[in-house]
Structure 1
């Protein structure tokens, strides 16, 4: 798990206008909350935060007015068209503390020969892990699976110290037989055209 250091400053102005001014300076407004403390409004460096958020469940080490705080991203708002960061919610964590997060599921290997599709029922697996040891992803082998096969949450090997935060019988991946469209008979299409 990667830990990214960022310098943050406390934000004292609020509202749309203040948030726009922050974004014009290539920074991102955010909120840090957790452990029963009052929410702290922050300004974070935009480019560094964008790079850090490319890693799922990244651990952020925030330098905040001389204090060092650990946080994980809880909610990220992006501009729907341009994709730049508009706002981020960060959850305060402590070393050794267990947190519930969703870890991406990666499938590896080739399905059995045939016309099969692999469906990701869960793109991310809910797990409980120590805040400083959150896995970036879990990998599942689908080699040789045929239609009707499924992989349950309990079938996935998790790193030590990581436990499931979902029903162990929840389906994560399943293999389906591909459905080919049948061509319409010529008589049917002529009859439909005549009706129109």
Structure 2
């Protein structure tokens, strides 16, 4: 897992007006907390942060007043319409420390023939992992699965050192049978014929 270095400016102005002013400069207001320390309010470069957050659970190496801190995103607020970053909460972590995070689940492979649908019941799994070795995603094969098949959390293999926090018997993926449309069309045809006969 790669670290992304970002410079953070400590800020002393708060409130909506100050936040708007920060965002006009293409920067993002953020708060850094954890390890029993007082929360530190900082400003982060918007474009660099946006690129970094494309990686789930990215490890950020923050330069705060000349002091280097490691942090992971804990809460990211975006504008509902335009999608720009509004505010970010960052959790301080240390090398070797275990953290609980949500990891995206990705399916690969083709379902058995028949036009069945794959439903993602859970898009992420909650796992416990070392802060500096958080997997970006968990990949599971759905090759050849037929209608009615399901994959549980415990069925998904995890990298070494990663422990499952989600309920082991929780359904993550399931295969739904294709909807049969032809019988419905035939029923409509029969109804039309019946109406014609009555007429």
TM-score by length of 2: 0.91
Structure 1 moving runs of 4+ over 3 Å: none
1:174 aligns with 2:174: yes
1:16-41 per-residue CA deviation (whole Å, 9 max, x = no partner) reads 11001111111000011111111111
Secondary structure (helix, strand or coil) at the match of 1:54 reads: coil
Instruction: Give me the whole-angstrom Cα distance separating, in 2, the residues matched to 1:7 and 1:121.
Output: 38
Instruction: Give me the whole-angstrom Cα distance separating, in 2, the residues matched to 1:146 and 1:126.
Output: 27
Q: CA RMSD in A?
A: 1.5
Instruction: Give me the whole-angstrom Cα distance separating, in 2, the residues matched to 1:16 and 1:96.
Output: 37
Greater C-alpha Rg:
2
Shift of 1:115: 2.0
2:148 alignment partner in structure 1: 148
Shift of 1:61: 0.4
**Contact between 2:114 and 2:178, CA under 8 Å: does it hold in 1?**
no
2:137 alignment partner in structure 1: 137
Instruction: Give me the whole-angstrom Cα distance separating, in 2, the residues matched to 1:162 and 1:112.
Output: 31
1:97 aligns with 2:97: yes
Task: Give 5+ residue unaligned stretches, structure 2.
Answer: none
Shift of 1:129: 0.2
1:107 aligns with 2:110: no
1:95-139 per-residue CA deviation (whole Å, 9 max, x = no partner) reads 100000011111111001112100111101111000000000011
Task: Give 5+ residue unaligned stretches, structure 1.
Answer: 192-196
